Amino acid sequence: MGGKTTIRVLIADDNRTVRKGLRLQLEGAAGITVVGEVTNGVDAVAAARSEHADVVLMDLQMPGMSGLEATRELTTSPDHPTVAVIVMTSFAIDGYVSEALDSGAVGYLLKSHDSDVLLEAIHAAARGHALVSSHVTATMLQEFVRRGSSRDDRAIAHRLTASERRVVGVLSKGVTSSEAIAEHLGVSVHTVRSHMHSAIKKVGLEDRTQLALWGARNHLS
């Protein structure tokens, strides 16, 4: 997906108003084409294949096959080796978030999101990165803070530079975009991305969502 100039997006939601709203946000967006709309999980799986979708915007609660089941099918089947699923929901509940990510989704956004967050998530998913909306991240962070850190986590935290710790600290508060973190710290976006990449490698994680949760658990926020 990373080398494509146009990202093919499939919308899966049983609510016609939601589908129309998502399409309106995406039409005219640079580098994005909406290739179809479906109303249930079975059709989402079939359409992702027939329309060669790169990213699927998946509702959780649909008739027949649920969004979670469809996500699991899409992300584990060899028939869909490159499709990325972003879950779209009205629920910022830790259990839903965890289950969606465990099912293979690379993003979890509330339907009340801003258009720029949706576009950022789609482009991130197409590059193989994850993005979780700040409100959802905050819900997850609360649970990780409650659980506390381990001795190994605390030892790893000391490997981070002061600048890296500051970036992770802001990220752990639910500020997920590099631009917003840069503005908060008064540094360049390039600097933020560099520190974030370095911190992810040092901690042994895969993406900024995992880093945000790790930072919150270790009280870097």
Domains and CATH numbers, the chain: 5-139 (3.40.50.2300), 148-216 (1.10.10.10)
Does the pTM exceed 0.75? no
**From first to last of its 221 residues, what are the pLDDT tens digits of the chain?**
545 579 999 999 999 999 999 999 999 899 999 999 999 999 999 999 999 999 999 998 898 899 999 999 998 877 766 789 999 887 655 556 767 777 788 888 888 777 888 898 899 888 877 666 655 555 555 555 555 444 455 667 788 999 999 999 888 877 777 888 899 999 998 999 999 999 988 888 877 777 887 887 777 76
Phi first, then psi, for residue 29 (nearest 5°) are -70, 135
Residue 199: per-residue pLDDT: 92
Number of residues assigned to the chain: 221
CB 71 within 8 A of CB 103: yes
Residue 2: per-residue pLDDT: 47
* 3-state secondary structure string across the chain: CCCCCCEEEEEECCCHHHHHHHHHHHCCCCCEEEEEEECCHHHHHHHHHHCCCCEEEEECCCCCCCHHHHHHHHHHCCCCCCCEEEEEECCCCHHHHHHHHHCCCCEEEECCCCHHHHHHHHHHHHCCCCEECHHHHHHHHHHHHHHCCCHHHHHHHCCCCHHHHHHHHHHCCCCCCHHHHHHHHCCCHHHHHHHHHHHHHHHCCCCHHHHHHHHHHCCCC
Query: CA torsion 180→157→96→147, rounded to 10°?
Result: -130
**R_g (Cα) of the chain, nearest Å:** 18
The amino acid present at 177, given as its one-letter code, is S
